[in-house]
Structure 1
Amino acid sequence: MKNNILVGVLALLFLADLILITQENLHSLRFFTKPLLVPLITATYLLDIRKKAASINRYFLAGLIFSFLGDTFLLFKWAFLPGLGCFLLAHIWYILSFVKLRKAKVIGSLPFILAYLGGLLFFLHPYLKEMEIPVIVYGVTISTMAYFSLCTKNKRLISGAILFVISDSLLSFNLFVNYTPIMEQVVMTTYLLAQISLVYGMTPSKRF
């Protein structure tokens, strides 16, 4: 019952956040929507784990916490680098959580991951300027996260990691190349689905 309520509140907040993205005069209200999305997902994760009497993956929980901090920082124009740093740390914690669940090596996937990362960085290069090094470091980190998700053989974790890569790729285009509110809505949608997929993959529950 509690999980159903949390999912309902999450859906309403997410819809409100999507609407606020397109309303420039109401943009400040996102301080009351966007930062609450990941805490609600985290609460669902903790309730599911408690209900199933399963152990909490503390690395994964740390990743969710840093995701929340990243969401909050990115609401401030001056705090892009702290926000990027928080998401970088979130992905490192996700990597550590996936390593604990690793079932196989998938070396054959590395050429595809590296090709995608190289292509993205090549495309973004003319637009990055002083942000080139931070974006490269972040790109390598999230690509590593995607690789280790494949090593888990967990379809939900793999889906979440791929959605995260898609979301961050679209975000980089929106930030550095050409911003549109519609693209930001797509970024938020893929981002939220990524976090939900990861939580779904880390719990025995099938609520999502």
Structure 2
Amino acid sequence: MKNIFLQLFYADAILELAIPLFLPEFAELRMITKPLLLILLMGHIVMENPKPALFFTAVFALLGDVFLMLPDSPLYFQLGLGSFLIMQLSYIRLFFRQASEHAWIPVHARKPLVGILIYVFSFLAFLNPYLADAMKIPVTLYAFALGSMLYFAIRLNNRMITWGAFLFVVSDSVLAFGKFYYSFPGISFVVMSTYIVAQLLLISALCKLQFKK
């Protein structure tokens, strides 16, 4: 019974990834399989480590998923982006609470910090010409929040959390590339596979930690 939510999550994840590839005629099923991913991870949180802060993070991840599934419109995209922004800030807060109380920028995170800043500025510079004026500020804020989440994950020095954060950056970068510049065949699989693994790693790792006050 302890792992029932994870077992269901794995089954749902396989179905979510398989539908676009092998069952495109049943694409509407993703209206169920996609939000069910976070619902099952929320069940896993309740079973493993029922901390309100972690559950709050998952709730906004779920809201982001739901808004981005709705008919394509600037409003729904901005609501989805806003939900994911709150989720990223919540992850940052969770990582910060777990991090060492030593140097603000520990030695092992100094080089990655430079790399993250270069990547964020470069990617924003690339996307900027393709962004509508109304999207430039929201996308910029989210990009820096995403980069900060990766930095604080690296600072935490936990392998599962670092890989989860890195895959989250990959997923969101590919999503932004596809939405604002060029959507290549199979992009949905790349975005969702990296996103699913990212959320699984982050939430599973945080469930194992005893949260500092």
TM-score when scaled to structure 1?
A: 0.87
Superposed, 1:5-84 pairs within 5 Å as 5-22=4-21, 25-49=25-49, 56-76=50-70, 77-78=72-73, 79-84=76-81
- Residues 202 and 70 (structure 1), Cα distance of their counterparts in 2 relative to 1, 3 Å cut: same
Name the counterpart of 1:132.
136
Contact 1:21 1:181 in 2 (8 A): no
Answer yes or no: is 1:99 the counterpart of 2:91. no
Name the counterpart of 2:191.
187
Cα shift at 1:181: 4.9
- Residues 148 and 18 (structure 1), Cα distance of their counterparts in 2 relative to 1, 3 Å cut: same
- The letter of the residue matching 2:117 is L
Contact 2:45 2:54 in 1 (8 A): no
Structure 1: any 5+ residue segments left out of the alignment? 50-55
Cα shift at 1:24: 5.3
**More deviation, 151-160/56-65:** 56-65
CA distance in structure 1 between the partners assigned to 2:184 and 2:26 by the alignment: 16
Structure 1 residue ranges (4+ consecutive) displaced by more than 4 angstroms after TM superposition: 22-25
CA distance in structure 2 between the partners assigned to 1:94 and 1:161 by the alignment: 9
Structure 2: any 5+ residue segments left out of the alignment? none
Name the counterpart of 2:121.
118
**More deviation, 106-115/168-177:** 106-115
Q: Percent identity?
A: 34
- The letter of the residue matching 1:18 is L
What is the Cα-based RMSD across aligned positions, in Å? 1.8
CA distance in structure 2 between the partners assigned to 1:189 and 1:96 by the alignment: 25
Correspondence for 2:178 among 174, 178, 184:
174
